[in-house]
């Protein structure tokens, strides 16, 4: 009985969107729906492509320290940006969650923000993945990340200076 009461008091959800607009918008739509159904919403986001918190007064916003250098951001190397975000933001998410863990029922994160699962698990908090793209885009992203890991991307030396994911 005590555990049931404890869980019912924990109505805060921590949402972590990927910092690209096609990922932010669906996460904000989900946050709005959940808020209208009684949940308190905290959104942890990067400084890169930061969300305007003034447009969402019902949510609490906290920053993840992405530590992304400008040369990486202007490189348009999306795979490297996402890998850096996942490496750089883990410690700041741990700090954030340590301060609010008693109130957090669940961490809902974008599939591209895979570091969130390990952080949530480390605090004994459940996590859910929000996939904002089709299965074809998901498979394409995995292939791009594999090609990047093999050193075959980016294709700058072959005249291609950007790649979309």
163 pLDDT exceeds 90? no
pLDDT band at 10 (very low <50, low <70, confident <90, very high): low
Question: Would the pLDDT of 38 be above 60?
Answer: yes
CA atoms lying within 13 Å on the CB side of residue 50: 12
Paired tokens of 134: 């089709």
DSSP secondary-structure letter at 47?
S
- What pLDDT does residue 133 have? 79
- 107, part of any domain: yes
By three-state DSSP, how is residue 62 classified?
strand
Structure letter (DSSP) for residue 123: T
Residues contacting residue 38 through CB under 8 Å, at least 6 positions apart: 11
* CA count, 13 A, side-chain hemisphere, 73: 12
Q: Is residue 32 part of a domain?
A: yes
Catalytic site positions: 23, 110
pLDDT in tens, 117-139: 999 999 999 999 998 878 888 78
Q: Classify residue 163: in a domain, yes or no.
A: no
pLDDT of residue 75: 86
161 domain residue, yes or no: no
* Summary mean pLDDT of the chain: 87
Q: For 125, phi and psi rounded to 5 degrees?
A: -105, 135
- Asked if the structure places residue 38 within a domain, the reply is yes
- pLDDT range class, residue 162, cuts 50, 70, 90: low
User: Could you tell me the CATH number of the domain that includes residue 50?
Assistant: 3.40.50.2000
| Residue 78 confidence (pLDDT) | 87
Show the CA angle centred on residue 14, arms to residues 10 and 20, nearest 5°.
165
Could you report the per-residue pLDDT of 80-128, keeping only the tens digit for each?
Answer: 999 999 999 999 999 999 999 999 999 999 999 999 999 999 999 999 9
| Structural domain harbouring 111 | 2-133
The pLDDT of 39-47, averaged and rounded, is 96
Neighbours of 18 (CB within 10 A): 24
Tell me whether residue 148 is in a domain. Answer: no
Residue 149 lies in a domain: no
What is the domain count for the chain? 1
């Amino acid at each position: 009985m005590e555990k049931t009461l404890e869980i019912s008091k924990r109505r805060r959800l921590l949402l972590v969107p990927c910092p690209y607009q096609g990922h932010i918008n669906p996460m904000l739509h989900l946050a709005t729906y959940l808020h209208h159904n009684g949940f308190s919403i905290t959104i942890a986001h990067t400084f890169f492509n930061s969300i305007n918190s003034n447009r969402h007064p019902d949510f609490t916003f906290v920053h993840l320290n992405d530590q992304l250098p400008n040369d990486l951001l202007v490189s348009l190397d999306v795979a490297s940006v996402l890998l850096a975000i996942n490496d750089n933001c883990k410690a700041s998410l741990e700090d954030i969650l340590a301060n609010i863990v008693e109130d957090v029922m669940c961490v809902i994160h974008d599939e591209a923000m895979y570091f969130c699962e390990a952080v949530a698990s480390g605090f004994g908090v459940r996590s859910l993945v929000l996939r904002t793209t089709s299965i074809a885009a998901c498979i394409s992203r995995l292939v791009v990340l594999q090609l990047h890991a093999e050193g075959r991307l980016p294709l700058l030396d072959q005249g291609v200076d950007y790649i979309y994911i």
